[in-house]
């Protein structure tokens, strides 16, 4: 029986093993390219062009900063409260 093959070749030329991922297996640019080429909601939106995961992430970041300009970056309130209780 052939061993399972579950990896992708990244833009940098590196291989990412999907069954046993390693954080050192990709570069930031690989991640950015992958997210920019992945459409949010399967490409279905009310805009003329589909919205990528990268665009959606940046849009949410900007909206969050406008709504809470002094909020520290990082986990949401619920996660921060849970971390404080554990400490």
pLDDT in tens, 14-69: 999 999 988 888 899 998 999 999 998 888 878 788 899 999 999 998 998 899 88
pTM: 0.60
* Mean pLDDT of all residues in 59-85: 75
**pLDDT at res. 9:** 92
Over its C-alpha atoms, the chain yields an Rg (Å, rounded) of: 18
Report yes or no: 52 and 59 within 8 Å, Cβ to Cβ: no
Q: Residue 60's CB: how many other CB atoms inside 10 A?
A: 10
What is the CATH number assigned to the segment(s) 7-86?
Answer: 1.10.3210.10
């Amino acid at each position: 029986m052939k061993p399972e093959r579950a990896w992708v070749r990244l833009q940098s030329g590196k291989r990412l093993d999907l069954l046993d991922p390693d954080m050192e297996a990709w570069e930031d640019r690989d991640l950015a390219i992958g997210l920019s080429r992945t459409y949010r909601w399967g490409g279905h939106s009310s805009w003329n062009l589909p919205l990528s995961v990268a665009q959606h992430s940046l849009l949410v970041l900007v909206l969050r900063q406008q709504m809470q300009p002094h909020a520290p970056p990082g986990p949401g309130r619920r996660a921060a409260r849970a971390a404080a209780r554990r400490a």
